[in-house]
A and B are shown apart, each in its own frame.
Chain A
């Protein structure tokens, strides 16, 4: 009798460890972690990948990823990635950063790594708050948004404007591929996957700096249910931070 193979349609990526995760219910990090691991699996680059984890909610990424990882000081992530990639150009080096890490304390590092055209990939998870430290205002926090440090809502006069990092980076000749996506729906998750894959592809082909900004939910510090948080991205966050390819060349 012919042996029938089980028809597996969905499984955990090989490079995503079977570990209890520390993320809150409805958080987007778990999805983005998975998409990165699927990408690593599909390109079959596990043995070449060196990731640089940030300070923030994703600091423990090395507990979930089954490949080499360095943990950088807060915001210095692109500088650490630069050091690694320059001495090991044959490896695939990516950073995984939140909005506090990338858009506040590490602004200089991201701009200059991008401007040098470092052949690295940046996964930038933008959820508009500092999650790890208790939901403080981030540079990306929307106008009027309440956080632990903007208790009456972010005032543009007092706290300034939310920063659109990708649009800033787009003017730099060193950047080759910049796309903003979201993980608030299955459709957007698939788009995010395609963007991450494209960003890694750029690096594999040696084309230079690639970055995907992923709009992500933080139900805990948005004070919402996971469903409400996903709706907020669709109705509010993505109207300020437009989803789509910002630059590709």
Chain B
């Protein structure tokens, strides 16, 4: 299965009942997969007239209480930002998949990690956060898509899967998880179902009463604080004894791992921290690693976005270097190895 299809199958296992999307490369396999699977299972698939319509259809389906998803790639995700802000403001759960491509603008259709800021800092208007999961394989695409639905429901917040064109297109074997009991899906007493036997529900983000919006924002921030305490996920390799620690996520983390092994074979004790949740960011584990090493190397397919969060986590306690490729360029393990050697020699 390719990453796009694995993501789609993860959504089906999670009980996704509604998908709306719009064609854009490199995520079209996901849309096609959902069209097929929704037809087979009696779910709803809509090819929307625009990215705006797609995210707002997801808004509607989320209002109505079902697990809903949309997917796109970078320029399309920019268009969805209005809707994501409304979903966050209305505390509606949903899953948004971004198979990043090169930018800015129309860019190209090659892999990129240039949307990190947009994904983890909010993206749309207003003070909000989106849960962001970064898989590094087709298997993880499947598993983290399921997790994204669970976390979205648990916290009543949009969750994003941040992949890239490389992961979306790459074919890998998948081990299917056990079929889930859909009864475990969260109860949603707030959903719009018709007010039979209860007071009417209203889903809105407009709060005009004096002080009301500040209260609502405080409540959201409390929730975000809870998420940062409970939902940080990451992988560490050889971080106990390393003189250089790499920080990379997604497909780049796999390349970085190869570079790490090459460096270790050359006698440079190198480790890797791979954030799995980009928001909440694993700042404690990165900050804690300053006790082990004074040298970090952040590798991204961007001009340097996650490196800013690494520097915040390190907070001046260690040297943080960056190596990145942009516009569809993919760092090779040799390029990363050179950077490791240069940093180790400093």
0/1 string, A69-94, CB within 8 A of B gives 1 = 11111001001111111111001000
Q: Does B171 contact A (CB under 8 A)?
A: no
A68 to B193 alpha-carbon distance, docked (Å): 7
Contacts of A108 in B (CB 8 A): 49-50, 52-53
Work out how many contacts link A and B, with CB atoms closer than 8 A.
133
A94 to B204 alpha-carbon distance, docked (Å): 16
A82 to B58 alpha-carbon distance, docked (Å): 9
Q: Does A23 contact B (CB under 8 A)?
A: no
- B59, B60, B192 pick with most chain A CB within 10 angstroms: B60
Query: B59 contacts which of A67, A83, A112 (Cβ < 8 Å)?
Result: A83
Contacts of B61 in A (CB 8 A): 83-84, 86-87
Q: Does B63 contact A (CB under 8 A)?
A: yes
Verify B192–A68 contact, CB threshold 8 A.
yes
Q: Does A66 contact B (CB under 8 A)?
A: yes
A111 to B53 alpha-carbon distance, docked (Å): 11
Q: Does B86 contact A (CB under 8 A)?
A: yes
Known: A62-B204, A112-B49. A76 touches B68 (CB 8 A): no
A86 to B59 alpha-carbon distance, docked (Å): 12
Chain B interfacial residues counted at CB < 8 A: 40
Query: B60 contacts which of A46, A53, A82 (Cβ < 8 Å)?
Result: A82
Q: Does A236 contact B (CB under 8 A)?
A: no
Query: A72 contacts which of B49, B56, B68 (Cβ < 8 Å)?
Result: B56
Verify A87–B194 contact, CB threshold 8 A.
no
Q: Does B82 contact A (CB under 8 A)?
A: yes
Known: A73-B86, A80-B57, A83-B60. A68 touches B18 (CB 8 A): no
Verify B200–A67 contact, CB threshold 8 A.
yes
Verify A87–B64 contact, CB threshold 8 A.
yes
Verify B194–A50 contact, CB threshold 8 A.
yes
B189 shortest CB reach to chain A, Å:
12
- B82, B90, B204, B205 pick with most chain A CB within 10 angstroms: B204
Known: A76-B59, A79-B53. A84 touches B192 (CB 8 A): yes
B72 shortest CB reach to chain A, Å:
15
B231 shortest CB reach to chain A, Å:
27
Chain A interfacial residues counted at CB < 8 A: 36
B216 shortest CB reach to chain A, Å:
14
Verify A91–B193 contact, CB threshold 8 A.
yes
Query: A79 contacts which of B52, B62, B193, B200 (Cβ < 8 Å)?
Result: B52
Contacts of A48 in B (CB 8 A): 194, 196
Verify B194–A79 contact, CB threshold 8 A.
no
Verify A79–B206 contact, CB threshold 8 A.
no
Q: Does A109 contact B (CB under 8 A)?
A: yes
0/1 string, B144-171, CB within 8 A of A gives 1 = 0000000000000000000000000000
Q: Does A47 contact B (CB under 8 A)?
A: yes
B85 shortest CB reach to chain A, Å:
9
Q: Does B66 contact A (CB under 8 A)?
A: yes
A163 shortest CB reach to chain B, Å:
18
- Nearest opposing residue in chain B for A59, CB measure: B206
Contacts of A49 in B (CB 8 A): 194
Query: B68 contacts which of A47, A60, A83 (Cβ < 8 Å)?
Result: A83
Verify A68–B83 contact, CB threshold 8 A.
no
0/1 string, B192-222, CB within 8 A of A gives 1 = 1111110011111110000000000000000
Verify B59–A87 contact, CB threshold 8 A.
no
Known: A83-B59, A83-B60, A88-B193. A76 touches B52 (CB 8 A): yes
Known: A66-B200, A91-B194. A83 touches B63 (CB 8 A): yes
- Nearest opposing residue in chain B for A74, CB measure: B82
Known: A50-B194, A83-B68. A109 touches B60 (CB 8 A): no
Verify B49–A86 contact, CB threshold 8 A.
no
Q: Does B174 contact A (CB under 8 A)?
A: no
Verify A70–B203 contact, CB threshold 8 A.
yes
A66 to B192 alpha-carbon distance, docked (Å): 13
Contacts of B48 in A (CB 8 A): 79, 112
Docked complex: B60-117 residues within 8 A CB-CB of A: 60-66, 68, 82-83, 86, 90
Verify A88–B64 contact, CB threshold 8 A.
yes
- B18, B20, B90, B202 pick with most chain A CB within 10 angstroms: B202
Query: A71 contacts which of B65, B66, B206 (Cβ < 8 Å)?
Result: B206
Instruction: Give 5 CB contacts A-B under 8 Å.
Output: A72-B56, A80-B57, A87-B64, A87-B68, A109-B56
Residues of A within 8 A of B (CB): 46-50, 52-53, 59-60, 62, 65-73, 76, 79-88, 91, 108-109, 111-112, 116
16 extra A-B contacts, CB within 8 A, seeds A72-B86, A83-B63, A112-B53? A46-B195, A65-B200, A69-B204, A70-B63, A70-B204, A73-B56, A73-B59, A73-B82, A79-B53, A79-B59, A81-B60, A83-B62, A87-B18, A87-B66, A91-B64, A109-B52
